[in-house]
Amino acid sequence: MFAEDGELLYDVLQSRANLLYRQRLRREEARELALGRAGTGQGRGVREARTVDRMSFLEVPEALRGEFSEEAYNHFLCNHSHIEVLERFFPGAVPNAVLDTFERIDLHYRLNGEVINVLIHYLKTAQLPWNGKYIETIAADMLGQQIDTYEKAVEYVRRQMEAKKKKSSAKPAAESSRSRRIAAGGKPQLPLFPEEAASSAVSDQDVERIIRKAQRLKKS
């Protein structure tokens, strides 16, 4: 924990703290599952595994179709920790940066575990970046919209996917219109900023402001 000169090795301390947190999360989940199988309700935070309405089923990702039926996959997302879900999606070890991001979301945003798991599913199936700031922006939006159940999270993801699909289908039409203008001798209108750069430019101050606003909304 300390260097030879007595200075605290903060990175080592943080790493060990993260490891202890993840080990505790695993132990608590294993205990809850054991108590659930035994039919008891002892202990803080222990709850029975719950089922998911078929209308809120998410499709099993292609990489996991040999492992889960649709019903089993949604039950897994609804009742297991985000660490176990992440481990299913990464063929090797889950990158520490990804674990740290979801640890912050779990500790500071206080999203329910099942909501975090739907967020992980969304990131994987929509092939979105595993960038910490980007993920926290989505988490802040979910918190601000009071997404607190599996079903609400599924509906949120479906809305996002639908909006993404409409945006993608609108691009070819815009490109075709631009091509016709060029063919007719018109001067192409150049965008001021690349769209992707604009959408990813989220500053630390923006993220903090979103979090504070979302937490105020949740309290109200």
Average pLDDT over residues 202-210: 71
Q: Which has the minimum average pLDDT: 36-40, 75-79, 157-161?
A: 36-40
Where residue 59 falls (left for φ over 0; alpha for ψ -120 to 50; beta otherwise) is beta
Band (pLDDT 50/70/90 cuts) for residue 119 is very high
CA distance 137 to 202: 8
CA distance 128 to 177: 28
Q: Over the stretch 143-199, which tens digit does the pLDDT of each residue have?
A: 999 999 999 999 999 999 999 888 888 766 556 666 666 566 655 555 544 444 444
Band (pLDDT 50/70/90 cuts) for residue 55 is very high
pLDDT of residue 182: 59
pLDDT of residue 27: 58
Say how many C-beta atoms besides its own lie within 10 A of residue 167's C-beta.
Answer: 10
The distance in angstroms from the start CA to the end CA of the chain is 42
